[in-house]
Amino acid sequence: MENEFPLISKQIVIFGGKGGVGKTTAAAAFALALARADREKKLLIFSTDPAHSLSDSFGEEIGREKNGVAGNANLDAMEIDPGQWFEDLKQRYRSWTDELFDSLTGASRMEIKFDREAMRELVELTPPGIDEIAALGVISDLLDEDRYHSIILDTAPTGHLIRFLELPRVALSWIRTFMKLLLKYQNVVKATQVAEELVALSKSIKRVVALLTDAERCEFVGVAIPERMSLEETVDLAKALDNLEVPMKKLLINGLVPKNECSFCKSRRKMQDEVVANFKRRFRSVELFSAQQQPHEITGVKALLGHFQTWDRVQSRAKQR
């Protein structure tokens, strides 16, 4: 059908938007439809949303990793809490540095004390967003291993990702500062271990940023709802993504009330249509799609596929925004 949402086959397809717009459900519905459309493609749906909403969407426990989601042998899922993941990493750094300085003898006590305190402060003062992007390094590793044809990414509320992409130099500078302190103790085994992990983290950050800004490999699908506040938030999101060279090429407006004879529904749909018209005017270079509000909770295979089938084209791509 002309108005169907295209089953994008990029290596990474990111569904992002503010909280509460249905992006997790959208990501799950798209992943399921893509998995069923081509059984030969191995797919992964990956969530960095600590709410672990994928389990709710599929109606089954996902956890850290689940193979054969919703009875599809070619669809796997992972849920990672970036905050917890990075807190575990920081705890390793604390333990390593404490062991490192406890093992030192012969150097100036004053200098060792200063370096220990400086390194502790560095561990605590990690740049905002580095936890999210470091967790996304798992995706880069999976692609390098050639385990999946496509990875569908359900992000935490988009500010996390944008905040990091706006400050990659800050994150890398934090790592370099840490490394400079460690170089003073490069002959100590513990220092070498920490340094190796920091080097790996630095490489991971650079790979993820390169991946997310590669239009040939990555596509960002925005998700919004037909409300004025969501419109303005999505405009801000699109501008930030453009500046970061991660353009939003498709936008799904979620939750349109079906047209029927109910007077309340008609009135609400009329207001929603006015907002959708504003979306059209503000997003002239973006492919717009709408999804109907469902009469029941969107959980499980049947509901997800039914939801995806309502994704109708609102506007074809125009030449300029």
Catalytic residue numbers, as ranges: 49
- Cα 235 from chain centre: 19
Q: Which amino acid is at 55?
A: S
* Alpha-carbon gap, residue 307 to 292, rounded angstroms: 7
Residue among 130, 136, 200 at smallest CA distance from 166: 130
Sign of the alpha-carbon dihedral angle for 18, 24, 25, 31: positive
The residue whose two tokens read 């470091």 is: 134
Strands (E), 160-242: 218-224
CB 12 within 8 A of CB 142: no
Q: Tokens for 175?
A: 């790592």
Sign of the alpha-carbon dihedral angle for 270, 276, 278, 284: negative
Residue 6 per-residue DSSP state? P
